[in-house]
Chains A and B, each alone.
Chain A
Amino acid sequence: MNKQSQLTRSKLPISGQIVMFFIRHIQHAMASLGELWRNPISSFMTMAVLGVSLSLPAALQVLVKNAETITQSWNSAAEISLFVDEGRSEKSIQSLIARLKVYPEVAEIHYINRDQALEEFQRLSGFGEALSYLDVNPLPAVVMVTPSLKYSSPTGARELLNKLEQEAEVSFGRLDIEWLERLQAVVRLLERTVMAIAALLVLAVVLVIGNTIRLAIMNRRTEIEVMKLVGATEAFIQRPFLYTGIWFGIIGGVLAWVIINLLVWYLDSALAELLGLYGSELHMESLTLAELGQLVLLASFLGWLGSYLSVRQHLRAIEPS
């Protein structure tokens, strides 16, 4: 019975086995690449399909990223206006400001005293003439509070507002964030749409690679039969197919990156023109090097997964007869 357990052992010494394990992996990886090179047209067709499929989720990622940089600047526009109780002295207002400044949630404070408020109102409202008939200034002093980045989200800003209203000198506060909440809801919806489309396209990539590998397995049916007859393990037989899948993924990923860059380059001039009309200097950003790495890593994983699923299903079905 001892012999039974010996059956899985190779005849080589253990150090040789380890070295050969790596050498064989490298050989298989290179051989798979060579195999792709030998059928350039069909290989390229598959890679092009993968590149296009991957470029769509990646393009959406670029879109979301650029949208975020734009909305980021809008988010910080969320300001809280605190109206000070009438009849508070200038001194007590200054002490309020001093206290507000030490709040960790507060990034910036801008004080508008009553006279300034009146001046601004006269200038912007168009009721300037009417106001001059009033004996007293009806406007309260206002402290404009800009929340720190962490508290600039609608919920965070609202939280801060509640806290600030507890201050004795503050009559009430206002936060104009409804539009911000709507914007964020729209952005969330967009993000979710992007995720759903990305998931579908990722599935398409796995299926395309799985199908390509299936055809490759069918083409090499006799070879696989012979290999099984002379004692090849399934791991050995499936390895070149798995590497083929990984190569498809890597090259497809790089292709997607190229497509994205072309797309950004094409759109950027048009966008710059549009933003220029609004006096903005924003430029579209493409994928960073780290994101390229992630894209290629994800693509190679998808390639591996697609070929693994295919190999699992089809390699077992081939048995010598």
Chain B
Amino acid sequence: MIRFEQVSKVYSGGQKALSDVNFHLKRGEMAFLTGHSGAGKSTLLKLITVIERANVGKVSINGHDIAKLRRSQVPYLRRDIGMIFQNHHLLMEKSVFDNVALPLIIEGFSHGEIRKRVAGALDMVGLYGKERHSPIMLSGGEQQRVGIARAIVNKPPLLLADEPTGNLDPKLSMDILRLFETFNDSGTTVLIATHDLGLIARMKYRTLTLKQGRVLGAQELDQTDTLSGY
């Protein structure tokens, strides 16, 4: 699903963010991405979502070689990626419904279909019936879950989360992670970037640790992965 081959990224200021990163996240897998701030977590996520592009190496997402992707194709790739942010990036002046419906409106679904899917997504994150609320009226945990509902509403094959539990207490954090597990059970590939090591320790998933732009202890690309395609 996500494959990095000898990827390096240097920002235009000369700051080296990633060097020679290799890893492969299989379809249907769930993994954590961890490391200190400044270790390159955000850069790695930006390379996956094509906010930035690699200087060296090859990044493939869902079978698409990012280097060959034209600018006009980027939006269509992003529709296959559900993104969840620490500061959730909600539109505060719009209702919960409008926020969650945004990816569906962009894809051009009919009104009835949008209503059905938004209700389904909100139900899944435990916010059923709060469509008309404004995000400002909701608690931090609820806002985060609105962000998750928006990420999953168009059923993307890949879910990326950047510090999804950053502002939440341990109980709420665990709830959110359980939510990710249920998405993963239904076949979605999930990658969660977090520095909350306690949280990771309680769950037995693969962990990619970044340190100064390099992946520590990650399995090298094995031959079977290469043959299977992605």
Contacts and interface: CB of A to CB of B under 8 A. Distances in A.
B83 A230 contact: yes
Contacts of B83: 229-230
A233 interface: yes
Nearest to A230: B103
B107 A11 contact: yes
A226 interface: yes
Contacts of B223: none
A225 B65 contact: no
A12 interface: yes
B109 A233 contact: no
Contacts of B109: 12, 20
B75 A3 contact: no
Interface in B155-183: none
Q: How large is the interface on A (under 10, 10 to 19, 20 to 34, 35 or more residues)?
A: 20 to 34
Contact of B103 (A10, A225, A231): A231
A230 B49 CA distance: 10
Nearest to A4: B64
Given A4-B64, A223-B91, A226-B102, A233 B108 contact: no
B72 A229 contact: no
Contacts of A11: 107
Contact of A4 (B65, B89, B91, B103): B65
Contact of B75 (A4, A12, A225, A233): A233
Interface of A: 3-4, 7-12, 16-17, 20-21, 24, 222-223, 225-234, 236, 319-321
Given A3-B62, A8-B76, A230-B83, 15 more contacts: A8-B73, A10-B107, A11-B107, A12-B108, A12-B109, A17-B108, A222-B91, A226-B91, A231-B79, A231-B107, A233-B72, A233-B75, A233-B106, A234-B72, A236-B106
